[in-house]
């Protein structure tokens, strides 16, 4: 989620507007959108304050209650898939969740899984090297 402009910037915009500058000119000078300065001034007139509106607070993840167990599980068995971790959570901890929630949990905790060369997809049937190898094998025979 994006953050709002600082209180200091809002204060400078309001001071310019109250000093006689148009809302759009103040926005141009401070390099903000005209709609921001217009809305701030409207909010000041309506409520007496141009402070940032209260936003949504981030809710803690229900997986945070199982953080130690999850991190230990992945440290012990680093090759588990998200589906396998989801199944283990349900089986061992009686906690139902989704693989996307587990993925976001690991992203927040800095746990990543880097694929190595042995995990790559099979090459396509049109791969040139394979075709050349067939031609070479046919010439040798």
Can you give the residue ranges of every domain in the chain?
7-47, 62-110
The CA distance from 34 to 24, in Å, is 5
Rounded to the nearest 10°, the torsion over CA 91, 77, 66, 101 is -80
Cα–Cα dist 112/104, whole Å? 11
Read off the pTM.
0.46
| Confidence band for 79, pLDDT divided at 50, 70 and 90 | confident
Q: In the structure, what pLDDT confidence band is assigned to residue 111 with cuts at 50, 70 and 90? A: confident
pLDDT, tens only, 41-58:
999 999 998 888 777 667
Lowest model confidence (mean pLDDT) among 56-60, 71-75, 95-99, 118-122: 118-122
Give the per-residue pLDDT at 41: 92
Band the pLDDT of 118: cuts 50, 70, 90. Answer: low
């Amino acid at each position: 989620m994006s953050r709002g402009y600082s209180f200091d910037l809002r204060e400078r915009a309001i001071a310019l507007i109250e000093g006689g500058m148009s809302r759009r000119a103040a926005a141009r000078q401070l390099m903000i959108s005209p709609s921001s300065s217009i809305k701030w001034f409207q909010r000041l007139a309506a409520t007496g304050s141009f402070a940032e509106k209260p936003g949504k607070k981030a809710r803690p993840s229900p997986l945070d209650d199982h953080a130690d167990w999850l991190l230990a599980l992945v440290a012990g068995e680093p090759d588990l898939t998200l589906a396998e971790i989801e199944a283990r959570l349900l089986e061992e901890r009686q906690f139902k969740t989704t693989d996307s929630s587990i993925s976001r949990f690991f992203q927040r905790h800095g746990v990543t899984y880097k694929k190595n060369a042995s995990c790559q997809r099979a090459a396509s049937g049109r791969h040139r090297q394979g075709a050349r190898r067939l031609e070479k094998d046919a010439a040798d025979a």
